[in-house]
């Protein structure tokens, strides 16, 4: 493990009462923090709103720490918010919430042994020559251990935290309640379909036997593409809450940032192409772009792809909307981009009616970037600030709020998360050329 590994062993609250108490403690802590912030601002002569009092760095740290402790659907949703909101959150909050994109705390040995005994049997150690008790990775739903079986198989064993599958419904509802409390979600906004979709995806991610099948499906799609590596499933040791797969060597994807510009550009171009193929060729996408789901092999230039719990089919109508949007963008037809964005559900008609000039300027910025003839420099994020300046006033107008269809949001999460990785790597990619070629090849 790295010397700066700050993770710690903390039991996962697995009972319904324990997890409810965790949310209750978080809510009371946030209220106490808000009262303190309110008193400070009033003493300074300010008249703070409730969301200003609640959305403080101190409260953001409380949220991140508590969700990292609880893990499960609660932490997963926190990751989604932190990644998807990325560029529009205040810097202080964004920095603290980024903790949720790092590795989680892990189960202490006694809790781990109990889970393994329940999934295999009490003599589970007899199957292994070696089973590393400290995980090599710990995430929102499970943690991963290196193991060597008696028949010399080097495996990665993903073990699900106890109670995660049973707590999805309540965790999602409780996180939504916290968002309502902070004012991030207006009471008028119908988030029911989004919550239902989130629960469905989280239930899928908690089914490790399903994830094993998704991993095999993805491996079949990429069997002739040696730019990517997918672990091999080991069904004999896989259970509903244990996923056994081949251990694949690789460094964190961020290590690619140390490579020369040409290497970064080439490999990230491959990743952009993969997203395009998922959307327009495979009709099947791994929709979780967490950086931990990619590993880099410097000796071969390959990318190891991990974690297929969020893999799902892409609805043909969603792919069709993206195709129409991209075609309009490449043609620099800004009026058609606006029409297609409304049709796809990205923009609400009421937002166009209430803020036509800002919508048009934001579209112009995006079209200009995607249609440029030279390489797109993902490390140059100046245009993001320009877009934020246009969309933030719209976001503050709650009458303009709107949620795209859930199936579109899952795809967009992969697209935007991949772009964030490109920014992290400082890659420069011929996006126009890649997109044009894929659209032509898959027409």
The set of residues, in sequence order, having a beta carbon less than 8 Å from that of 322 and lying 6+ positions away, is 279, 280, 344, 411
- For the chain, the structural domain boundaries read 16-106+164-203, 251-443
Q: So what's the pLDDT on residue 120?
A: 97
Please identify which of the residues 288, 335, 364, 373 carries the catalytic annotation: 288
Q: So what's the pLDDT on residue 172?
A: 76
Q: Could you read off the pLDDT of 101-142 as tens digits, one per residue?
A: 555 678 889 999 999 999 999 999 999 999 999 999 887 788
CB contact at 8 A, 202 and 73: yes
Distance CA 11, CA 79 (A): 20
Which pair of structure tokens corresponds to residue 156?
A: 């990665």
Distance CA 222, CA 274 (A): 10
Which pair of structure tokens corresponds to residue 132?
A: 């590393």
Q: So what's the pLDDT on residue 106?
A: 82
Q: Could you read off the pLDDT of 69-102 as tens digits, one per residue?
A: 555 555 565 555 554 444 544 454 455 555 555 5
Q: So what's the pLDDT on residue 333?
A: 95
Look at residues 137, 307, 119 and name the one whose alpha carbon lies nearest to residue 231: 307
The set of residues, in sequence order, having a beta carbon less than 8 Å from that of 230 and lying 6+ positions away, is 215, 218, 219, 222, 304, 305
Mind spelling out the 3-state secondary structure of the chain? CCCCCCCCECCCCCCHHHHHHHHHHHHHHHHHHHHHHHHHHHHCCCCCCHHHHHCCHHHHHHHHHHHHHHCHHHHHHHHHHHHHHHHHCCHHHHHHHHHHHCCCCECCHHHHHHHHHHHCCCCHHHHEEEECCCCCEECCCEEEEEEEECCCCEEEEEEECCCCHHHHHHHHHHHHHHHHHHCCCCCCCCCHHHHHHHHHHHHHHCCHHHHHHHHHHHHHHCCCCCCEECCCECHHHCECCEEEEECCCCEEHHHHHHCCHHHHHHHHHHHHHHHHHHHHHHCEEECCCCHHHEEEECCCCEEEECCCCCEEECCHHHHHHHHHHHHHHHCCCHHHHHHHHHHHCCCCHHHHHHCHHHHHHHHHHHHHHHCCCCCEECCCCHHHHHHHHHHHHHHHCHHHCCCCCHHHHHHHHHHHHHHHHHHHHCCEECHHHHHHHHHHHCC
Per the annotation, the verdict on 288 as an active-site residue is yes
Look at residues 228, 226, 234 and name the one whose alpha carbon lies nearest to residue 295: 228
Q: So what's the pLDDT on residue 322?
A: 96
- What string of pLDDT tens digits covers the 443 residues of the chain? 443 445 567 665 555 555 545 445 544 554 444 445 444 554 555 554 445 444 556 656 666 666 655 555 555 655 555 544 445 444 544 555 555 555 567 888 999 999 999 999 999 999 999 999 999 988 778 899 999 999 999 999 999 988 888 878 777 777 677 666 655 555 555 667 777 877 888 889 899 999 999 999 999 999 999 999 999 999 999 999 999 999 999 999 999 999 999 999 999 999 999 999 999 999 999 998 888 899 999 999 999 999 999 999 999 999 999 999 999 999 999 999 999 999 998 888 999 999 999 999 999 998 988 877 789 999 887 787 788 788 878 877 777 777 788 888 889 889 988 998 999 999 999 999 999 999 999 98
Core vs surface per residue 64-78: b (16+ CB within 10 A) or e: bbbbbbbbbbbbbbb
* pTM value > 0.85: no
CB contact at 8 A, 154 and 148: yes
The set of residues, in sequence order, having a beta carbon less than 8 Å from that of 76 and lying 6+ positions away, is 140, 141, 202, 205
- Exposed / middle / buried, residue 429 (Cβ in 10 Å: 0-12, 13-18, 19+): buried
């Amino acid at each position: 493990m790295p010397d700066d590994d700050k993770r710690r062993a903390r039991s996962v609250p697995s009972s319904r009462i324990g997890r409810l108490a965790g949310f209750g403690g978080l809510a009371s802590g946030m209220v106490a923090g808000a009262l303190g912030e309110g008193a400070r601002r009033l003493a300074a002569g300010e008249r703070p709103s409730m969301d200003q009092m609640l959305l403080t760095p101190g409260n953001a740290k409380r949220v991140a720490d508590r969700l990292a402790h609880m893990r499960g659907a609660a932490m997963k949703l926190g990751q989604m918010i932190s990644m998807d909101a990325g560029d529009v959150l205040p810097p202080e909050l964004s920095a603290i919430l980024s903790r949720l994109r790092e590795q989680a705390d892990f189960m202490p040995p006694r809790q781990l042994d109990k889970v393994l005994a329940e999934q295999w049997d009490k003599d589970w150690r007899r199957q292994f020559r070696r089973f590393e008790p400290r995980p090599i990775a710990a995430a929102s739903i499970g943690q991963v251990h290196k193991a060597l079986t008696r028949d010399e198989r080097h495996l990665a064993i993903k073990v699900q935290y106890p109670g995660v599958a049973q707590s999805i419904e309540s965790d999602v509802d409780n996180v939504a309640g916290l968002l309502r409390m902070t004012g991030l979600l207006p009471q008028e906004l119908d988030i029911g379909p989004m919550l239902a979709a989130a629960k469905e995806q989280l239930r899928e991610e908690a089914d490790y036997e399903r994830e094993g099948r998704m991993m095999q499906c993805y491996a079949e799609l990429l069997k002739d593409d040696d730019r990517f590596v997918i672990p091999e499933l080991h069904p004999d040791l896989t259970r509903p809450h244990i996923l056994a797969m081949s251990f694949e060597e690789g460094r964190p994807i961020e290590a690619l940032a140390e490579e020369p510009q040409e290497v970064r550009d080439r490999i990230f171009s491959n990743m952009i192409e993969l997203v395009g193929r998922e959307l327009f060729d495979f009709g099947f996408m791994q929709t979780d772009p967490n950086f931990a789901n990619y590993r880099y092999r410097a000796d071969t230039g390959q990318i190891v792809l991990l974690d297929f719990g969020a893999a799902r089919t892409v609805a043909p109508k969603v792919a069709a909307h993206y195709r129409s949007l991209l075609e309009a963008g490449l043609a620099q037809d800004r009026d058609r981009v606006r029409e297609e964005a409304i049709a796809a559900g990205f923009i609400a008609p009421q937002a166009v009616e209430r803020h036509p000039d800002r919508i048009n300027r934001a579209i112009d910025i995006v079209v200009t970037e995607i249609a440029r003839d030279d390489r797109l420099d993902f490390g140059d994020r100046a245009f993001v600030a320009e877009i934020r300046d246009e969309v933030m006033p719209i976001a503050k107008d709650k009458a303009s709020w709107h949620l795209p269809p859930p199936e579109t949001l899952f795809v967009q999460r992969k697209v935007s998360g991949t772009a964030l990785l490109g920014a992290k790597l400082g890659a420069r990619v011929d996006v126009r050329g890649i997109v044009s070629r894929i659209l032509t090849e898959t027409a």
